[in-house]
Amino acid sequence: MNLESLIHAKLDGEITPELHAQLEVLLRDDWQARRLYLELADQQARLLQQPAVNTGRLKSSSVAGRTIRFRTSALIAAAAAIVLLALVVRPQPLAGTEASSNGVAMVSQTLDAEFAETTTRSGDTLIPGTIKLAKGLAQIEFFSGAAVLIEGKGMIEVISAWEARCVSGRFRVHVPPAAKGFLMHAPGMKLEDLGTEFALNVQDQNSAVHVFEGEVIAHTDQAPASLKEGMTLGQTSADFLPISELQSLVKQREARRFADWQEWSQQARTDPRLIAYYTFKHWPDDRWDRLINNFTEPRNPRRAGGAVGAQWTQGRWPEKEALEFKRPGDRVRLNLDGTYPALTLACWVKVDSVDKKYNSLLLTDGYESGEPHWQIHEDGSLMFSIIYRPDGDETGGRWNQIYYSKPVFTPDSLGRWHHIAVTYDNQSGEVIQYFDGREVGREVSELHQPGRPVVFGPCEIGNWGLPTSGHQFPIRNLNGAIDEFAISGAVLDPSEISTLFQAGKPE
Amino acid sequence: MSSESSPHTEQIVLLLTRHQEPLFRYIFSLVACEADARDILQETSLALYRKFDAYDAARPFLPWAYRFAYLQVQKHREKAARSPLLFFSEDVMDLLAQDRERMEPELDQRLQLLDGCLGKLTPQDKELVTSRYAMRQGAEEMMQRFAMSRRTLFRNLELLRQRLHECVTRQLQSEGLS
């Protein structure tokens, strides 16, 4: 993260202790960093206090006041245009057609969790109903702010954002001040939370509660009792659930998965079929901060990429970096030499939104014979295309071979890491598309003729660089992040694609 | 405290009222958290009230008040055992406080220009500002309202504030040039 992003994360209260430590180092060493911080902090303080803002009565933007003269370089003008473009094309939530959800909570973390009767996963939104955990650990975060950790065999009924019922199992409940008043039912008692942390064991219709911090009002068949820190009500044979468990286990698992992937990746990059292999490793000593190294072994630095606009962000695991594509200008420039009889494109991508007609994955500049284009179509399907236009043809006839998978990017799969891949063989003409290691499309185009080569040349990841003449500048940037991208000059078979997925899946 | 306000009380109340905003800004720059800053502002006001006898009316009020605010920030950090990692360490805070006092005239000038830059925001950005700063909507609420992921929301807020900052910087430079 760069200095600016660190400062903004700090101002938004969205900073982790690790990043906070980074920010401190920068501020300690550099007075210019402190200056920027102080300016932005002061601006934030003003926004929080500003009467014009506070009353919600911002003046309309037409007020020009006086003419201000200042020199603007073409670069700044271009940057401003891109920013403006970003604002113009940002999808507007329309009144009346706004998407809605009746969710009241979400599953924020899981560890080896198996849910009975449902296929709940981490990140899922929960509507009122009963959640049965068969094994593992799961953390449920209510939209009120309350969080419940369930361990092992357990059942909880989610009633609303402010109310739940523990039916059986071991629970740990955290209620921040904002969720004060959260109501937890359990057999024989009702616990009203005054901002606290407590554990609850429910077994055979018997409840026991232990308060770790703060205060809980326990309503039983007796008079309401105030339970304070260290107090226990009821009998239990099991230990109360310690909170450190889920976080530390999740961290351990992430570290393990990352290490496993690294080990696998060291081996995979020696595959001679690879044309280029980008792991999006951020080089702290790259002074321009824009290098997207090609990690194929033996090394071929000529095929390294250059990031434009796109910013570094977290990848599949906390230690793994990724590149985030957000603005219409964001992209990674590549130049891949050679001609090939086939191809495989494979990448790990987190798509935040499919908000354009075409959302770029990898496209060659322009669209000449033998050049592949790989995109996500507006309906959420993967779209691979390759064109073979006879020399001198200007008629724009049907030369474009287009292949769609079934839709894979749906609200459920957005915002999560997925592995996608496509293979193309210039003999059989067969295109196979994959999502998380499984086949989601297989087709031969009626336009196929065997033996025509595949070429790349100048191309880019996450955007479409130089459209053919006569077109307006189309907005095709990906809205999401990519943290691994492999390009091969041969077809990887289904079992190999499945291995790519298994070796790299986040959990 | 007697129930009748003495001239002494009136004087400090007046001074505190007049300097609420700069005091809040000073404290905020050291803790960067609104809730903490408001708590500390209250504690500082109380401390200033108690020590008002020691105030020399011939000298400017704010530098004197800042010293109390700085101590209250330190106290607050020691009390906040919950997440000490999210507070600046003392040496960094010290540097920030020193730099800030030097920069204060410029910061004041920037704030005057900020109003103009706020007026130039696009309607979309104004909606974000209103939602976040005027209506004090939380992240979840804003994510729903604008149909954005958490990351996108904070990214947009970051870009918005960055644009405001750049707008102010440009105006400051153009004023210097003209």
**pLDDT tens per residue, range B88-121:** 988 999 999 999 988 888 898 898 888 888 888 8
In a domain, B96, yes or no: no
Higher pLDDT, A483 or A176: A483
Q: Closest-CA residue in chain A for B103?
A: A35
Let me know: does A372 contact A386? Beta carbons within 8 Å.
Answer: yes
Q: What whole-number distance in Å separates Cα of residue A183 and Cα of residue A175?
A: 10
Q: B116, A11: Cβ pair inside 8 Å? A: no
Report helix, strand or coil for A505.
Answer: coil
Q: Closest-CA residue in chain B for A351?
A: B149
Question: Domains in chain B: how many in total?
Answer: 2
Whether residues B146 and B109 fall in one domain: yes
Whether residues B81 and B120 fall in one domain: no
B residues 46-65 lying closer than 8 A (beta carbon) to A: none
Helix axes B61-79, B90-119, angle to 10 degrees: 120
Q: B95, A20: Cβ pair inside 8 Å? A: no
Of B87, B117, B146, which residue constitutes the final position of a domain?
B87
In a domain, B51, yes or no: yes
pLDDT in tens, A406-419: 899 987 788 889 99
Whether residues B68 and B33 fall in one domain: yes
Whether residues A301 and A180 fall in one domain: no
Let me know: does A406 contact A381? Beta carbons within 8 Å.
Answer: yes
Tally A–B CB contacts below 8 A. Answer: 164
Whether residues A302 and A202 fall in one domain: no
- How high does pLDDT run on average in chain A? 83
Whether residues A358 and A426 fall in one domain: yes
Of B87, B119, B142, which residue constitutes the final position of a domain?
B87
pLDDT in tens, A21-33: 999 999 999 989 9
Q: A98, B147: Cβ pair inside 8 Å? A: yes
In a domain, A357, yes or no: yes
In a domain, A99, yes or no: no
In a domain, A93, yes or no: no
Mutate to test the interface with B, among A42, A82, A97, A355 (most CBs of B within 10 A): A42
In a domain, B99, yes or no: no
CATH number of the domain residue A211 falls in: 2.60.120.1440
Whether residues B42 and B1 fall in one domain: yes
Q: How far apart are the first and last CA of chain B?
A: 55
Looking at beta carbons, which residues of chain B come within 8 Å of A61?
119-123, 126
pLDDT score, position B61:
87
Whether residues B58 and B109 fall in one domain: no
Looking at beta carbons, which residues of chain A come within 8 Å of B115?
50, 52
pLDDT in tens, B1-35: 444 456 677 778 778 888 888 999 999 999 998 88
**What stretches of A117-236 adopt beta strand conformation (E)?**
125-126, 129-142, 147-160, 163-175, 183-186, 189-203, 206-219, 225-228, 232-233
CA–CA min distance B31, chain A (Å): 9
Strand A372-377 versus strand A381-387 pairing type: antiparallel
Looking at beta carbons, which residues of chain A come within 8 Å of B40?
none
Which of A36-40, A224-228, A285-289 ranks highest by mean pLDDT? A36-40
Report helix, strand or coil for A377.
Answer: strand
Whether residues A174 and A232 fall in one domain: yes
Burial of A92 (C-beta count, 10 Å sphere; 0-12/13-18/19+): exposed
Whether residues B12 and B82 fall in one domain: yes
Whether residues B10 and B78 fall in one domain: yes
Q: Give me the domain span that covers residue B7.
A: 1-87
pLDDT score, position A109:
79
Q: Give me the domain span that covers residue A10.
A: 1-42
Of B41, B61, B87, which residue constitutes the final position of a domain?
B87
pLDDT in tens, A416-430: 899 999 999 999 999
Q: What percent of chain A has pLDDT over 90?
A: 47
**B137-174 as b/e, with b when 16 or more CB fall inside 10 Å?**
bebbebbbbbebbebbbbbbbbbbbbbbbebbebbeee
